[in-house]
C-alpha cells in the first residue's frame, strides 16, 4: 500500500497583517501550500522542517493517490524507517514564497487587481521566504523544531533560519549549499534568465492570459541548470558518446547524442510543471543570497546561531563545491558550536542530495538520533 | 607602426574537382580565406599552419589597417620575436570550412541555386575541415610543414591532420584539446544549439534574406559557451558578487551582477560577427569528432602519427580537462613518439590558450626551436 499525503493550504499573511519584504514592499496576502508526514508528539518536540530547492515543492514524500507513479521529491529520505522517520518525527515541508506549486508567487492573483501579479510581484529574498514558513510553524503550535534541513537553495533557507530564528531550532542540516552563490553559479542562472526574458512569449511577464507562454526560454534555462547539477563523471558514464540517431544521413541540431535527448526530455518535463516567472524570481533570490549580510567574517554573521549542525557536501558537486561548505563549518567551529562535516563520495554532482545514497542517509539518521538525546 | 596583414582568398575545390565529404555528400565549390605572416624560405622548410577554434578566423595576427583597435586573435603568439616568430617562420592561418569569415559555409551562396545554403549545407566534420587546408598548403608550394598548431577545436584539427597527413609535418602542437568531446561538453553545446534552432527567427536556417535573424538564440549559446571557457576561480576573482546596479529598488532579470553584464556584452559582441548556422555546423563537428575512429585504443588510432609533439593543458580548464590531454600523451608515448607534455598553471580556464601567459609562450618557443634542428 502506498503511503498517502495531501497538500494543505494556509493563509499566513493578509491585509490586516501583511508581509513586509526586505525590499520595503509589502504582500497583502500570502498563502502557503504544505504537507506533513508523521504525527506531532504531545510535547511538540519531534518536528522537522524541510526546505526544498529551486525546482521542488511541498510534496516532499509519499503519494497523492494510489495511481501516482512517482512519490514526493525526497521520498527516500522521509517515511517509516527512513532518515526523517515519520514514525518518530513530524515532518513539514512548504512550497516557498515566490513558487508556483500552491504558495503565493508571481502566478498568483493580486488581490488588489484581481489579476495574476506577473512581474508586478515584488522581488523576494531568502530571508523573505523563511518568514511565511515561520508563521506556518507557529500555526502548527510548534515553538521549537527538533531540526531544520535543506539542500541547495533549501540549505540557504536553513542557514538564514539558523541566523534569524536561533531559538526555534535544536539542530540544523545544511546540505550541498553555500553562504553565497559563486560568480559562476550566478552566471549560469543569469543565462537561464536571459533565455526566459528574451523569449518573445514572455511579454514582460504578463503572459498568464495569453495562449503563448515563454516555455522555450524556460526549457533552455532548465537544460543549462540540469547540466550544472550533474557530475562530470556520472554524465560521462551515463551517456559518454552514445548516439541517439544516425549522424551522417541528415543533420539534427538538437538530438544526435543521448545526452542531448535526455536534456530535451528533462526540459520538456520541467516546463509542464513550472512557471517561468517563478524561475526568474527564485533564481534571483538565490543569486542575491548573502549570508555575510554586511559582516566582515562568516563567523561574525553566524554569531546568533545556537543549533547543533551537520554540514554535508558531495565530492563531485562543482556548482556548490566543498570549499563553500567548509566556509560554513569553519565559521561555526570558530563560534564553538557543535558542528559535524561530511564530504560524501558521490559521482552525481550537485544533484547527489536528491539521490538515494546509503552514506548520505546514514549521516542524516545519526545526526537526528543524536539530537533526540 | 602596426604590423599589417591582409586576408586573401583561394578556391581550393570547384565543380571539376569537388570536395567529397565524410557524409558522402559533395561541395562543388570551396573557397578559403587565409592570412600569412613572415616569409617562406627557399627550402620551404619554415612553414607553420595554425588552426583556429570555434569563434576564431583567418585573422590570427597583426592588424588589417592602422586604424584597427584590435589585432588578430593570437597576436601575442605570432609576430617578430614571439613564439611563432614571423622573422623566422612563415605562418599560415585559414578560416575553417563551415565558417563565416570568408571561407565556404552555410552563409555562402550555393552555386547551384544562387542562394545562400542555409541548412541545405551538408554536415561537416573535423576531417572535412582539414582537407581544404591541405589543398591550401599544396597551393603555397609547401610539401612539409615545420609545425601545425591549434587550441580547442584547432587542436582537434591538428590531431586529425597528424593522423591523416603524417608525412606532411615535422612537429605538432596540441593545446587544450581532446580526442573526443566529453558528454558534459556535448551537453553545453547542445543547449546552445537548442537556443538557436528554437529561436523563431531561425526559420529552419533560411534567414539570410529575412530582416529577422536568430540572434537571441546565438547570444544565449555564446553566453553559455563563455561561462564554460572561463576558470571558476578567475571568474570569482574578476566578478565575485560585484553589483552592476542596485537590487532592491527594482528587479532587472538580466544585469544585476557585473558577471551578468559582462556575459551580455560578450554575447552582444559575438552576434555582430558570427553566423548562427555556422555555430550549429561547427559545434556539431566538434561534438562528433572522434579521434578513435573505430580503433580500440587511442594508441592504435594514432599509429600513423610521426611528428614530434607538444601537448599542453591548463590547470583550470574544466571543459577540456588535463585527463583528455593525458590520453593523447599516453597514446603517443605507447607509440614511442617524441612527446612532451605541459600542464600549465593558469586560473583562466579553457580560454587560457588565448591569454598571454609567459610559461605558455616559453613552452611553444622552446618546442619550435627544437624542431628546427
- For B146-171, what is each residue's pLDDT tens digit? 999 999 999 999 999 999 999 999 99
Residues of B labelled catalytic:
152, 317, 350
In a domain, B1, yes or no: no
Residues B142, B19 within the same domain: yes
* Residue A350 annotated as catalytic: yes
In Å, how far from its chain's centre is CA B76? 16
Verify whether the Cβ–Cβ distance B253 to A193 is below 8 Å.
Answer: yes
Q: Which CATH number covers residue A229?
A: 1.10.1740.110
N-terminal to C-terminal alpha carbon distance within chain A: 33
Which of these, B31, B7, B27, B11, lies nearest to B19 by C-alpha position? B27
Verify whether the Cβ–Cβ distance B236 to A182 is below 8 Å.
Answer: yes
Give chain B positions within 8 Å (CB) of A187: 227, 235, 239, 259-260, 263
Among the options A57, A85, A287, A317, which is catalytic? A317
- For A47-61, what is each residue's pLDDT tens digit? 999 999 999 999 999
Q: Which CATH number covers residue B366?
A: 3.40.50.1820
Indicate if the pLDDT at residue A245 is higher than 70: no
**How far is Cα A112 from Cα A286, in angstroms, rounded to an integer?**
28
Q: Where is the domain boundary, B284, B308, B332?
A: B284
**How far is Cα B24 from Cα B138, in angstroms, rounded to an integer?**
24
Residue B147: half-sphere exposure toward Cβ, Cα within 13 Å: 30
User: ∠ CA(A194), CA(A199), CA(A203), 5° rounding?
Assistant: 110
In a domain, A83, yes or no: yes
Q: Where is the domain boundary, A235, A262, A284?
A: A284
Q: Where is the domain boundary, B238, B265, B284?
A: B284
Tell me what the mean pLDDT of segment B5-32 comes to: 97
- For B311-367, what is each residue's pLDDT tens digit? 999 999 999 999 999 999 999 999 999 999 999 999 999 999 999 999 999 999 999
In a domain, B3, yes or no: no
Verify whether the Cβ–Cβ distance B187 to A22 is below 8 Å.
Answer: no
Using CB atoms, pick whichever of B241, B249, B253 lies closest to residue A180.
B241
The C-alpha of A150 sits at a distance from chain B's nearest C-alpha, in angstroms, of: 23
Largest separation between any pair of C-alpha atoms in chain A: 70
Residues B139, B213 within the same domain: no
Q: Which of A184, A216, A281 best tests the B interface by mutation, with the highest count of B CBs <10 A?
A: A184
**How far is Cα B303 from Cα B165, in angstroms, rounded to an integer?**
12
Q: Which chain B residue lies closest to A120 (C-alpha atoms)?
A: B251
For chain B, give the percent of residues with pLDDT over 90: 93
The C-alpha of B75 sits at a distance from chain A's nearest C-alpha, in angstroms, of: 28
Give chain B positions within 8 Å (CB) of A290: 241
Band (pLDDT 50/70/90 cuts) for residue A251 is low
The C-alpha of B262 sits at a distance from chain A's nearest C-alpha, in angstroms, of: 9
Residues A38, A59 within the same domain: yes
Could you tell me which residues come within 8 angstroms of residue A261 by beta carbon, excluding any fewer than 6 positions away?
Answer: A244, A255
Verify whether the Cβ–Cβ distance A284 to B191 is below 8 Å.
Answer: no
Q: Find the Cα–Cα–Cα–Cα dihedral B344, B347, B351, B352, rounded to 10°.
A: -30
Residues A140, A157 within the same domain: yes
In a domain, B21, yes or no: yes
Verify whether the Cβ–Cβ distance A256 to B288 is below 8 Å.
Answer: yes
B305's grid cell: 602519427
The C-alpha of B196 sits at a distance from chain A's nearest C-alpha, in angstroms, of: 9
Using CB atoms, pick whichever of A190, A220, A239 lies closest to residue B195.
A220
Residues B135, B46 within the same domain: yes
Give chain B positions within 8 Å (CB) of A257: 183, 186, 190, 287
Band (pLDDT 50/70/90 cuts) for residue A326 is very high
Instruction: List phi, psi (to 5°) of A34.
Output: -150, 160
Residues A122, A175 within the same domain: yes
Residues B280, B323 within the same domain: no
Residues B305, B229 within the same domain: no
Residues B317, B171 within the same domain: yes
Q: Let me know how many helices (H) and strands (E) chain B has, helices first.
A: 10, 12
Cβ pair B332, B304 in contact under 8 A = no
Indicate if the pLDDT at residue A62 is higher than 80: yes
- E-strand ranges in chain B read 8-13, 19-20, 26-27, 30-37, 47-51, 90-94, 109-110, 115-116, 145-151, 169-175, 308-314, 339-344
The C-alpha of A42 sits at a distance from chain B's nearest C-alpha, in angstroms, of: 43
Indicate if the pLDDT at residue A244 is higher than 80: no
Tell me what the mean pLDDT of segment B16-22 comes to: 96
Which of these, A72, A68, A107, A108, lies nearest to A93 by C-alpha position? A72
The C-alpha of A265 sits at a distance from chain B's nearest C-alpha, in angstroms, of: 12
- For B206-234, what is each residue's pLDDT tens digit? 999 999 999 999 999 999 999 999 999 99
- For B239-277, what is each residue's pLDDT tens digit? 988 876 555 444 666 667 889 989 999 999 999 999 999
Cβ pair A27, A19 in contact under 8 A = yes
Q: Which chain B residue lies closest to A230 (C-alpha atoms)?
A: B184
Q: Is B100 exposed, middle or buried (0-12, 13-18, 19+ CB in 10 A)?
A: buried
In a domain, A88, yes or no: yes
Q: Which chain B residue lies closest to A218 (C-alpha atoms)?
A: B195
In a domain, A1, yes or no: no
Which of these, A360, A96, A54, lies nearest to A185 by C-alpha position? A54
Q: For chain B, how many structural domains are there in total?
A: 2
Verify whether the Cβ–Cβ distance B123 to A259 is below 8 Å.
Answer: no
Band (pLDDT 50/70/90 cuts) for residue A241 is confident
Using CB atoms, pick whichever of B119, B180, B198 lies closest to residue A241.
B180
- For A184-219, what is each residue's pLDDT tens digit? 999 999 999 999 999 999 999 999 999 999 999 999
Residues B49, B177 within the same domain: yes
**How far is Cα B344 from Cα B176, in angstroms, rounded to an integer?**
10
Band (pLDDT 50/70/90 cuts) for residue A373 is confident
Give chain A positions within 8 Å (CB) of B256: 284, 287-288
Verify whether the Cβ–Cβ distance B182 to A219 is below 8 Å.
Answer: no
Using CB atoms, pick whichever of A223, A239, A284 lies closest to residue B194.
A223
Verify whether the Cβ–Cβ distance B23 to A184 is below 8 Å.
Answer: no
Using CB atoms, pick whichever of B259, B281, B284 lies closest to residue A183.
B259
**How far is Cα A68 from Cα B39, in angstroms, rounded to an integer?**
73
Residues B311, B225 within the same domain: no
**Interface size, chain A vs chain B, as Cβ–Cβ contacts under 8 Å:** 163
Q: Residue A76: count other Cβ atoms within 10 Å of its Cβ.
A: 17
Give chain B positions within 8 Å (CB) of A190: 223, 254, 257, 259-260, 263
Band (pLDDT 50/70/90 cuts) for residue A249 is very low
Verify whether the Cβ–Cβ distance B235 to A187 is below 8 Å.
Answer: yes
For chain A, give the percent of residues with pLDDT over 90: 93
Give chain B positions within 8 Å (CB) of A24: 248
Q: What is the domain extent for residue B277? A: 185-284
In a domain, A49, yes or no: yes
pLDDT at B249: 42
Residues A189, A176 within the same domain: no
A168's grid cell: 526555534
In a domain, B358, yes or no: yes
Among the options A152, A278, A316, A352, which is catalytic? A152
Give the CA radius of gyration of chain B: 20
pLDDT at A257: 86
Using CB atoms, pick whichever of A197, A216, A254 lies closest to residue B190.
A254
Q: Find the Cα–Cα–Cα–Cα dihedral A233, B345, B312, B79, rounded to 10°.
A: 140
Could you tell me which residues come within 8 angstroms of residue A205 by beta carbon, excluding any fewer than 6 positions away?
Answer: A106, A118, A119, A277, A280
Verify whether the Cβ–Cβ distance A194 to B290 is below 8 Å.
Answer: no
Amino acid at each position: 500500500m502506498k503511503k498517502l499525503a495531501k497538500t494543505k493550504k494556509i493563509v499566513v499573511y493578509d491585509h490586516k497583517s501583511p508581509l513586509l519584504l526586505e525590499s520595503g514592499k509589502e504582500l497583502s496576502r500570502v498563502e502557503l501550500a504544505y504537507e506533513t508526514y508523521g504525527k506531532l508528539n504531545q510535547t511538540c518536540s519531534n518536528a522537522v522542517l524541510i526546505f526544498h530547492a529551486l525546482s521542488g515543492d511541498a510534496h516532499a514524500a509519499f503519494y497523492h493517490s494510489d495511481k501516482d507513479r512517482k512519490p514526493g521529491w525526497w521520498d527516500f529520505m522521509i517515511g517509516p524507517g527512513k532518515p526523517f522517520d515519520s514514525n518518530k518525527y513530524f515532518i513539514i515541508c512548504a512550497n516557498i514564497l515566490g513558487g508556483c506549486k500552491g504558495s503565493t508567487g508571481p502566478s498568483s492573483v493580486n488581490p488588489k487587481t484581481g489579476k495574476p501579479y506577473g512581474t508586478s510581484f515584488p522581488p523576494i529574498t531568502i530571508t523573505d521566504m523563511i518568514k511565511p514558513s515561520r508563521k506556518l510553524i507557529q500555526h502548527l503550535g510548534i515553538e521549537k523544531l527538533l531540526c531544520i534541513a535543506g539542500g541547495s537553495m533549501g540549505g540557504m533557507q536553513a542557514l538564514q533560519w539558523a541566523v534569524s530564528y536561533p531559538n526555534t531550532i535544536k539542530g540544523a542540516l545544511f546540505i550541498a549549499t553555500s553562504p553565497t552563490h559563486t560568480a559562476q553559479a550566478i552566471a549560469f542562472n543569469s543565462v537561464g534568465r536571459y533565455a526566459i526574458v528574451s523569449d518573445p512569449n514572455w511579454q514582460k511577464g504578463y503572459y498568464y492570459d495569453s495562449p503563448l507562454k515563454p516555455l522555450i526560454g524556460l526549457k533552455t534555462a532548465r537544460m543549462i541548470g540540469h547540466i550544472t547539477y550533474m557530475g562530470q563523471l556520472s554524465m560521462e558514464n551515463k551517456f559518454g558518446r552514445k548516439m541517439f540517431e544516425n549522424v551522417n544521413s541528415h543533420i539534427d541540431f538538437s538530438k544526435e547524442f543521448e545526452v542531448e535527448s535526455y536534456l530535451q526530455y528533462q526540459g520538456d518535463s520541467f516546463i509542464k510543471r513550472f512557471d517561468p516567472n517563478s524561475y526568474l524570481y527564485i533564481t534571483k533570490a538565490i543569486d542575491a543570497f548573502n549570508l555575510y549580510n554586511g559582516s566582515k567574517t562568516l563567523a561574525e554573521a553566524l554569531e546568533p546561531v545556537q543549533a547543533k549542525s551537520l554540514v554535508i557536501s558531495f565530492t563531485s558537486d562543482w556548482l556548490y563545491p566543498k570549499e563553500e561548505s567548509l566556509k560554513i563549518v569553519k565559521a561555526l567551529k570558530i563560534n564553538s558550536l557543535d558542528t559535524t562535516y561530511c564530504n560524501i563520495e558521490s559521482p552525481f554532482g550537485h544533484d547527489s542530495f536528491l539521490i538515494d545514497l546509503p552514506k548520505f542517509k546514514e549521516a542524516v539518521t545519526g545526526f537526528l538520533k543524536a539530537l533526540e538525546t
